[in-house]
Structure 1
Amino acid sequence: MTSLVDQLIVLVMLINFAALGSGRLAVAIRAVAIQGVILGILPILVHSFSWHLVVITGGLILAKGIIIPWLLTGAIVRARISREMEPYLGYVPTLLIGAITTGLSFVFAARLPLAPEHQGLLFVPAAIATLLTGFIVLVTRRKAISQVIGYLMLENGIFLFGLLLTEAMPVMVEAGVLLDLIVGIFVMGIIINQISREFSSIDTSRLTTLRD
């Protein structure tokens, strides 16, 4: 079981690079959707079986793997965009930065004062790497939808780290985190819709030219 969990966590980190290196928004959305499904499966593999864990797992897979990607796909169809054009930083430099931050995540995680049962696990370095990858996507992409994808990856990193604390986290807190994510995505969806309705582009860099 531990081997399967490690393989899934490695897959999560590989998906980070897929999101960093792809200019096609549909590919990035699918990558984040697969990452969300994997994160939805992990709790039931890591912790002992319970019905509330099954409900949380089903909700996570439904939200992260189906509903949110479906909403984002609808947004790019309505906005009539398919690619992230002219990002602030090119894809090769972005991948190099992602590789460096992933390596540094392992170094930093090894220095953290973790509980003995958590030392040597891939959860912490993978969580830090996913957090940093989400931040890189947020600051290097122009399209609002790409930045939503970065926000999703940030949340995935937080969730991955939180898997170490799932047994101590009550159901309402878990549901609250998921609700915050869904509300955040809906807010971003409204913003994207308004930008595409009022302007000819959803390039967020053009918002700096707005004047009273």
Structure 2
Amino acid sequence: MMSLVDLMVGLAMGLNLLALGSSRVVSVIRAVALQGVLLGMMPLLLEEHFDWRVALIAVVTMGVKGFVIPALLGRAMRVANIEREIEPFIGFIPSLLLGAVGTLAAVAGARALPLLPEHADSLLVPGAIASVLTGFVLLIGRVKAIAQVCGYLILENGIYLFGLLLIRSTPLLVESGILLDLVVGIFVIGIIVDRIQRAFDSLDTRKLTVLRE
């Protein structure tokens, strides 16, 4: 019988495919936000005994990933007047097919890994691998900087899932470290996005090719 954690990981994997197949930037942001909330809840489900430190990190993770960062991305989208990804480097159907193939490969490949017995039948590892692959496809295949930031967030969610495998041994260290990396990464990316918008009056990263020394 599928556990609640596996169900949530399965939903997160489905949101990966939604992000890959959608041309509407707001849909990608919403998929990332919902995925952040789902993954933020998982430490509470994986812990056998209540730990207020884990609960605090989980709440902060859900708040940052599910609400704060998506709200900032939505504001940037409205300021830049971006609604759709028009001409991606990798089309939406090919992206969706890549995501589906990557997800199936992740599920099949995880079975061959030397995992602990409690992780062997879990979707944590396949979900982590599939999310990392999805993040790479979005980073490489999208033109708009906001969509690429969403790819970074999904990639980080995959790393977060890998970190959950160690939650029983180093819960606070794993989760706080991942959250710190996320905040720093988004801060840097936010500065880059702002500079692109100011310099080119657009968030189309293809315009960076016209830069000269």
Output aligned runs, 1:110-189, within 5 Å. 110-189=111-190
1:7, CA displacement in angstroms? 1.3
List runs of 5+ in structure 1 lacking aligned partners: none
Please give the root-mean-square deviation of Cα atoms over the aligned residues, in Å: 1.3
1:170, CA displacement in angstroms? 4.8
Report if aligned partners of 1:75, 1:189 keep a CA contact under 8 Å in 2.
Answer: no
1:198, CA displacement in angstroms? 1.2
- Paired with 1:135 and 1:173, the residues of 2 have a C-alpha distance of 22
Structure 1 runs (4+) greater than 4 angstroms displaced? none
1:3, CA displacement in angstroms? 2.2
Aligned in 2, Cα 1:134/1:57: closer, same or farther, shift over 3 Å?
Answer: same
AA aligned opposite 2:190: G
- Paired with 1:79 and 1:31, the residues of 2 have a C-alpha distance of 20
Aligned position for 2:204: 203
Report if aligned partners of 2:88, 2:143 keep a CA contact under 8 Å in 1.
Answer: yes
Aligned in 2, Cα 1:135/1:194: closer, same or farther, shift over 3 Å?
Answer: same
- Paired with 2:178 and 2:39, the residues of 1 have a C-alpha distance of 14
Local SS of the residue matching 2:148: helix
Report if aligned partners of 1:148, 1:188 keep a CA contact under 8 Å in 2.
Answer: yes
- Paired with 2:35 and 2:8, the residues of 1 have a C-alpha distance of 9
1:107, CA displacement in angstroms? 1.6
Matched, 1:100 2:98: no
Local SS of the residue matching 1:111: coil
Matched, 1:62 2:44: no
- Paired with 1:173 and 1:162, the residues of 2 have a C-alpha distance of 6
Aligned position for 1:38: 38
- Paired with 1:173 and 1:109, the residues of 2 have a C-alpha distance of 21
Aligned position for 1:10: 10
- Paired with 1:95 and 1:203, the residues of 2 have a C-alpha distance of 22
Local SS of the residue matching 2:168: helix
- Paired with 2:168 and 2:67, the residues of 1 have a C-alpha distance of 26
1:131-186 Cα offsets, whole Å, 9 max, x none, are 10011110000111111000000000011121111121252442232112111111
State the percentage of identical aligned residues: 53
List runs of 5+ in structure 2 lacking aligned partners: none
1:67, CA displacement in angstroms? 0.6
1:10, CA displacement in angstroms? 0.8
- Paired with 2:167 and 2:188, the residues of 1 have a C-alpha distance of 27
TM-score (norm 1): 0.96
- Paired with 1:66 and 1:117, the residues of 2 have a C-alpha distance of 32
- Paired with 2:59 and 2:36, the residues of 1 have a C-alpha distance of 11
Local SS of the residue matching 2:53: helix
1:2-46 Cα offsets, whole Å, 9 max, x none, are 622221111001000110011111110010000000001111011
Local SS of the residue matching 2:3: helix
